[in-house]
Amino acid sequence: MVVGPAAGGMLAERGGGIFRRYPYALPNFFAAGLALVALVVIEAWLPGKTSYSKIEEADTDDDKDEAPAPRRACARVPRTSWLPIGVYCFLSTFSIFYEDCYPLWLLTPRREGGMSYAVDEIGAVLSVTAVFTVAYQFLIFPFISARCPSHVLFPTSAGLSAVLMPVAVLIARMEPGAAVTWAALIGHNIVYRCAVSNAYTACFCTINNSCATDARGAVNGFAMSVASLFKAVGPSLGASLYAYGLDKAPNGGVGVLAVFGGVGAALGVTALVACKYMGAEYDTPLD
């Protein structure tokens, strides 16, 4: 979160030779190299199945009761879990939609409602934001989560995120390059990302509390699988609608405001649904 955006922006701007013609190739090679290192580390040090063979051999026949026949994952999802899973899916779609459009907005010329930033400047904004977001996770969020129940924290945080989405367009009207503009941009992004982080964490808590303990594995697996389909829609839909908005209203930021305002309104509706139907019963486990 911290190193990635800064390194990507720096490499895209400072590559030479063939990387001058293909500026995003070098950051991708860098990311691929890190992925390769991660693969080597996992293969070398992550314990495999043979590491647990002694534990399996120590099991007695009495402990090896016949396991029940496996059921489909969706069959183990209780009705109480469907609402938080649906809320999680829509939260994933709308937040990824916005976060996919956000760097495009930073790159968009000011006459079209963007910030007209270079790639390395975008990387700096995202990296500085990540530093504060990580600090928030460790230092502030535990204090908030201990005092604010999940059924309150989620709609509050999601609603705040929804409001902040279209507010970003106002920053583009500030003086270009001024310190106050940078401060407003970074401050806005920090508050947004902290609010989204709160919403995700609270949503995960409500999903866990919506089912029995022995069903959490199946419920979370099903939730992640379904949400992955919604997450896949967000980036392609976001980029397409953002381009469409600029094409239809290229001047004055009207197109950007329509896109950010639309996704903010959709997330706001999600927050209202959660506020109305996800009550205090989702703050405590079923058993």
CB 282 within 8 A of CB 150: yes
pLDDT given at position 49: 61
pLDDT given at position 124: 86
Nearest to 205 by CA among 277, 197, 272, 230: 197
pTM, full prediction? 0.79
pLDDT given at position 66: 53
Q: What domains are there in the chain, each with its CATH number?
A: 1-42 (no CATH), 74-283 (1.20.1250.20)
pLDDT given at position 179: 92
pLDDT given at position 167: 93
**Tokens (6 digits) for 91:** 């939260």
pLDDT given at position 177: 84
List the chain pLDDT tens, one digit each, 287 residues: 667 777 777 777 776 778 778 888 888 888 899 999 999 999 888 876 665 555 555 555 555 555 554 555 566 788 889 999 999 999 999 999 999 999 999 999 988 889 999 888 888 888 888 889 889 989 999 999 888 999 999 999 999 999 999 998 899 989 988 999 999 999 999 999 999 999 999 999 999 999 888 888 889 889 999 999 988 888 888 889 999 988 888 777 889 999 999 999 999 999 999 999 988 888 887 66
